Amino acid sequence: MIVLIDGDQIAYSAAFACEQEFKWDEDTWSLTSSEAELSSVIEGYIDKAHRDTGADEYRVALSSPNNFRVSLYPAYKGNRKARKPLGLKFCRQYLLDNHDAKLEDGFEADDLLGIWAADDYNKVIWAADKDFLTIPCNLFRDNKLQRISLREADKYLMIQTLTGDTIDNYKGAKGYGEKTAKKWLDINGYSWEAVEAAFLKAGHTKNEFETNAKLARILRSYEDIDWRPIYD
């Protein structure tokens, strides 16, 4: 078994965990991080991924600074204004230097993991993001191992398209949370025709529907970069 690790997740988690406040005097504070501690925390995450999944091999993915989804929707992830944690740059470089982490220009770590894992049940993704429910794969998330079929992955992708993702700053169809989306699809059938109908009913255009679907779709192959919902 090969465990596929979300390097973004452990880099951010380690960087935030290792930040320490330091008071110099009655007026001055600063943040510090120890590279030794950052390295140790990262190694702990790598070990945990192996223990959780029983894997004997691993691969690590990192996101490129560029992102092909911005060309589809310039506001993608445009709401992320919070500062990055101290030590994040070190963590990313540590994963590149010590764990042969992979990044490819224009792709998010999610996409690389999806490409590596899709329809290959000899691999398992180790990640917290619910977006991986849209990939037909083995997924270790929330302290449990899930086997996600192609049909289950496609159904969740339709739900994700309808609900959008506030973290990634795309909105979905107006008025559709996860419960509403599931209810609509349970009644009207899990199909792209039904998803489009919900968008049109909510006052959106076909183009807005297709853009949301493309933004929600984690790549399952390199050819998926040109993916669109096929239904007409």
At the second CATH level, the architecture of 151-225 is Orthogonal Bundle (1.10)
Pairwise CA distance, residues 162 & 191, whole Å: 12
Given a cut of 80, whether residue 98 has pLDDT beyond it is yes
The pLDDT value given to residue 186: 97
Look at residue 2 and give its three-state secondary structure: strand
Beta strands in 142-231 (DSSP E): 144-147
Contact 178, 163 (CB under 8 A): yes
- C-alpha dihedral, 187 to 189 to 190 to 192, nearest 10°: -110
Which tens digits make up the pLDDT trace of 120-162?
999 999 999 999 999 999 999 999 999 999 999 999 999 999 9
231 has pLDDT over 80: no
Whether the domain at 2-148 and the domain at 151-225 fall into the same CATH topology: no
User: Where in the chain are the domains?
Assistant: 2-148, 151-225
Q: What is the pLDDT of residues 190-200, one digit of tens each?
A: 999 999 999 99
Query: What one-letter code names the amino acid at 162?
Result: L
Q: Give CA–CA dist 125/192, Å, rounded.
A: 26
CATH topology of domain 2-148: Rossmann fold (3.40.50)
Q: Give the pLDDT confidence of 59-89 residue by residue, as tens digits.
A: 999 999 999 999 999 999 887 777 899 999 9
